[in-house]
């Protein structure tokens, strides 16, 4: 199997990113929070470039590096995760998102019912008109 030039460029760029982050981490006497953040950023970029879904990449990296950042004190880390999730879910503005999606679903269903329910028309022609946007 022959690998194209673009793939070699992508793989070499990802390797360069990871090697640079590892070099910076190994060159300091004590690894602190900023260094862990740099490693996390580089791994997120590499994972997205490899084609992993963005949502799962961000979720997984966030959980792994939160666990590492708090010196493996999992009870403290999990308490912070629960507090952050509750703070986000209790935001009143975010209630509008599922309601907006539900409203779009209802509008779509009503339009289909209105097109199909017109008297004196063949339903297949009405469906074709709906698809054309008439």
* Residue-number span of the structural domain to which 109 is assigned: 92-134
Predicted confidence (pLDDT) at residue 46 exceeds the cutoff of 80? yes
Residue 63 shares a structural domain with residue 113: no
Which of 115 and 5 is assigned the larger pLDDT? 5
Report which of residues 68 and 101 the model is more confident about: 101
Higher pLDDT pick, 1 / 41: 41
Residue-level pLDDT at 102: 92
84 and 122 co-located in one domain: no
- Indicate whether 114 and 82 sit together in one domain: no
- Weakest-pLDDT range from 26-35, 52-61, 110-119: 110-119
Confidence bin at 95 (pLDDT 50/70/90): confident
Same domain as 102, residue 84: no
Distance CA 22, CA 97 (A): 40
Tell me the angle at which helices 74-89 and 54-69 cross, rounded to the nearest 10 degrees. Answer: 140
């Amino acid at each position: 199997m022959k690998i194209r030039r673009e793939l070699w460029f992508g793989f070499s760029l990802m390797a360069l990113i990871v090697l640079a982050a590892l070099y910076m981490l190994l060159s300091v006497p004590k690894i602190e929070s900023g260094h862990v953040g740099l490693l996390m950023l580089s791994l997120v970029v590499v994972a997205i470039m490899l084609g992993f879904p963005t949502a799962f990449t961000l979720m997984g990296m966030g959980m792994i590096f939160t666990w590492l950042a708090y010196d493996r004190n999992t009870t403290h880390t999990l308490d912070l995760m629960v507090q952050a999730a509750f703070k986000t879910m209790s935001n009143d503005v975010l209630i509008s998102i599922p309601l907006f999606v539900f409203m779009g679903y209802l509008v779509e269903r009503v339009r289909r019912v209105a097109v199909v329910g017109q008297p004196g028309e063949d339903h297949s022609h009405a469906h074709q008109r709906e698809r054309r946007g008439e």
